[in-house]
Chain A
Amino acid sequence: MFDRVFEKDVKITGIGQSEVGRPSLKSPLRLTVDACLEAISDAGLTCDDIDGVACWPGDHNNNGDSFSPIGSHAAKTALGLNVNWYGGGYEGPGPLGGVIAGAMAIASGLCRNVLVFRTISEASARQTSRTSNSLHSKTPGRDGSYMWRWYTPYNVFSAVSMVAMYAQRHFHEFGTTSEQLGQIPIVCRANAALNPKAIYRDPITIEDYLASRFISTPLRMYDCDVHCDASTALILSRADVARDLPHPPIRIEAIGAALNSPFSWDQIPLTRMVTAEVGSMMWARTDLKPSDVDTVQLYDGFSILTLMWLEGLGFCPHGEGGRFIEGGSRISLSGELPLNTNGGQLSGGRTHGLGYVHEACTQLWGRGGARQLKKANVAAVGAGGGPLGGSLLLVRE
């Protein structure tokens, strides 16, 4: 299937993150600069060492919208970077697309150190318009987008409409319950209590969860992530460069990406989405197995997505996710497979994708403070919902 596994020669050598605000008083560009400079410094590099920039989804719609206000043009210009390659863009394997593109730039020989970042300002946007993140606002007038125009005429304002139908179908086919699903937001909230940057840090119980209002059945308010203003950045370095930098390199052991399903929210497998095809690619590129993984950082834009990532990446069989997380202890900080150790997007804040990589590296480097895991050598990251999906298997060397 694959006869070259280029990503093993690519290492994560530094990470950075701005403040995570709800909202932040800093501009999106300032948040970006904060995250990027912290990551560059953390890697033991200077701006002069950065010869590539990658991001997802980049200068989204070219109008500075809050989903992605800053692209690679703005970042490289603001920081005065001289690069051999750069790029960003929405199309590709979802929120980890920037990491994968940056790794390819290194593997192809174009770059030695690539800055990857993701900036979001949805909390600020919602201060002035409650519909700022609505799918309806993506296209003025008639909806001409390739995909959304099949959904927005049906009063689909948010991806929650589709994701709630995935949950309903999962409940129907496999007997998954709200009590089981609720363990994901409850565990995330417990982890967030140990993360000083998390948005919501007060514990919640299953009673709180079941009493929270429905947004779109069977999903409740606590099943939905929380908007924030933040930027997250990391540095990818070529193996020979990484050897001389301060931190033990974190190897990209394997990548996975959604490549085969239609780019659609209603034509994909409803109880798996693209997670299984992402998982099968990732595990085909490594000798490691799910049982080798110490912690998982899995997309929780909506809680049911996390459950599907657990299944799709092979941590439990398809349909068994509800029983796998029953009671929550298995996925808690002291469990056999700690999940979203910084509180995820459900409680930590919707940093949208790179936040999971940042937290995986935080754990692998032993910087987790009060939430630090006893054993953290291998981490799996999966990000995306619907037709968007990508994954990383990360190993600290």
Chain B
Amino acid sequence: MNRKLPMLTQDNRSFWSGGAEGRLNIHRCATCGSWFHPSAPVCPRCRSLDVGAHPVSGRGRVVSFTINHQRWVPELECPYVVAIVELEEQAGLRFLTNIVGTPPEEVSIGMEVRVVFEQHEDVWIPMFERAA
């Protein structure tokens, strides 16, 4: 089905378009070395402006998840999994996503996952599947 797509801006385009090259891009501060999300033109930890998007491994673990059963709109295919995944690059580096390609009842906290992308127009939505 169609998804609600994000408005792309200078500050978030790297995250949503990295999938075109098969990359998950996350912002990193060149001054203090920390990764951060959501992307922004300043490091929230040290306020350095020397920040930019860099590809990460795309590997991580499920921090939490939920199996959605409610058919919010008629065309929605249920059940599906909404999750928060923490990337292996840094403790606490995480974002909300979907787990796909895995039966919902097999998803668990701590499960190792890897990024996959679903393209809609000029947006490549990063999602995750169970790592082999």
Bound CA span A139–B4, Å: 10
Known: A150-B6, A151-B96, A153-B6. A165 touches B82 (CB 8 A): yes
Q: Is B61 an interface position by the 8 A CB rule?
A: no
Q: Is B70 an interface position by the 8 A CB rule?
A: yes
Within 1-44 of B, Cβ neighbours of A (below 8 Å) are at 3-8, 12, 37-38, 44
1/0 per position for B112-123, CB-CB distance to A under 8 A? 000000000001
1/0 per position for B81-101, CB-CB distance to A under 8 A? 011100000000011111000
Known: A134-B72, A270-B64. A155 touches B5 (CB 8 A): no
Contact of B6 with A152 in the complex, beta carbons under 8 Å: yes
Bound CA span A151–B125, Å: 11
Contact of A156 with B96 in the complex, beta carbons under 8 Å: yes
Q: Is A131 an interface position by the 8 A CB rule?
A: yes
Contact of A155 with B68 in the complex, beta carbons under 8 Å: yes
The closest CB in chain A to the CB of B121 belongs to A142
Residues of chain A within 8 A of B44, CB atoms compared: 262
Bound CA span A39–B96, Å: 42
Known: A134-B72, A155-B82, A264-B38. A217 touches B6 (CB 8 A): no
Bound CA span A60–B37, Å: 27
Bound CA span A156–B38, Å: 17
Contact of B7 with A150 in the complex, beta carbons under 8 Å: no
Residues of chain B within 8 A of A142, CB atoms compared: 4-8
What is the interface residue range for chain A against chain B?
Answer: 35 or more
What is the interface residue range for chain B against chain A?
Answer: 20 to 34
Residues of chain B within 8 A of A169, CB atoms compared: 63-64, 109
Residues of chain A within 8 A of B4, CB atoms compared: 136, 142-143, 152-153, 155
Residues of chain A within 8 A of B68, CB atoms compared: 155, 161, 164, 215-216
Q: Is A162 an interface position by the 8 A CB rule?
A: yes
Q: Is A247 an interface position by the 8 A CB rule?
A: no
Q: Is B56 an interface position by the 8 A CB rule?
A: no
Residues of chain B within 8 A of A205, CB atoms compared: none
Nearest first, the 4 A-B pairs at minimum CB distance are: A164-B66, A157-B72, A144-B7, A169-B64
**22 contacts across the A-B interface (CB closer than 8 A):** A134-B73, A142-B5, A151-B96, A152-B4, A154-B97, A155-B3, A155-B4, A155-B72, A157-B70, A157-B73, A158-B70, A161-B68, A168-B64, A168-B65, A168-B66, A169-B63, A215-B70, A216-B66, A216-B70, A217-B69, A267-B94, A270-B64
Interface residues, chain A, with chain B CB atoms under 8 Å away: 131, 134, 136, 139, 142-144, 149-158, 160-162, 164-169, 172, 213-219, 262, 264-267, 270
